[in-house]
Amino acid sequence: MPNPDKRVTTLDLLEAKRAGRKIVALTAYDALFGRLVDESGVDVVLVGDSVNTVLAGQETTLSATLEQLIYHGRMVRAGVRRALLVVDMPFLTYQVSLEDAKRNVGRVMQLTGASGIKLEGGRAMADTVRALVEMGVPVMGHVGFMPQSVHALGGSRVQGRGANAEARIVADARALEDAGAFAVVLELMPAGVAARVTEALSIPTIGIGSGARCDGQVLVLYDMLGLNQKFQAKFVKAFANLEEQVRAAVRQYADEVRQGRYPDSAHSFEQ
């Protein structure tokens, strides 16, 4: 278990890669789950734009807004004391211009108390990453399958199959490192491709659906807890079955209320 009294920094992640220690990351969207994952020893808490699909019920992340991520980022910050807190930048908040990117990223950092931001894209985003890093913002990159480009990529499909596609991913990841990114998420690519990207970089790689040879792993918390069983993906392992436990608890509550067994004297106040 990591030291509960020491806040994780980007330099700690770099040292973990050098030492061969795996990095553990999870998403969170509120103070309660932020506290729980933080106290359980994860290294990175990501306030993902996946909040738009997981909690807001939308089909993609594309309609996530800056205000939405700031709102959830502030909640998670209230619960996270030790882990490195990273907030996703939503679609169109950093792609239009460098000035837009700087302004929007600055708002996220200022209003959430995050330790860094994450954005999607490789070589096309290198100048943006460089400008943000020069502004003093730690940036996590994201290559491979990029949810904000789901329509351009033809759906949630594995990326990097074939020599040319693999070379593009490696080049994208290297461009992000050269621009100053402190880590790169590798999403939905063959394990061998992710391993070659990891070997090519001196900064950590965080895999999701990209095999075991990344420097770390990230999952959506609700998927990992078995709270979202309608979403089934090959790379997701449910470490609990909380969806069924929630259903059972609600059924028991409803039964006890209808039968007059709750609240009983132990859960009532007397005069």
- Written as one string, the DSSP assignment of the chain is ---TTS---HHHHHHHHHHTPPEEEEE--SHHHHHHHHHTT-SEEEE-TTHHHHTS--SSSTT--HHHHHHHHHHHHHH-SSSEEEEEPPTTSSSS-HHHHHHHHHHHHHHH--SEEE--BSGGGHHHHHHHHHTT--EEEEEES-GGGTTTTTSS-----SHHHHHHHHHHHHHHHHHT-SEEEEES--HHHHHHHHHH-SS-EEEESS-TTSSEEEE-HHHHTT--TT---TT---S--HHHHHHHHHHHHHHHHHTT-SS-GGGS---
Q: Which residue numbers are catalytic?
A: 187
Query: Distance between CA atoms of 47 and 89, rounded to whole angstroms?
Result: 9
Strand partners, 87: 47, 117
Is the torsion defined by CA of 60, 210, 94, 26 positive or negative? positive
Residue 62 neighbours by CB distance under 10 Å: 17
**187: amino acid identity, one letter:** E
Query: Distance between CA atoms of 198 and 184, rounded to whole angstroms?
Result: 9
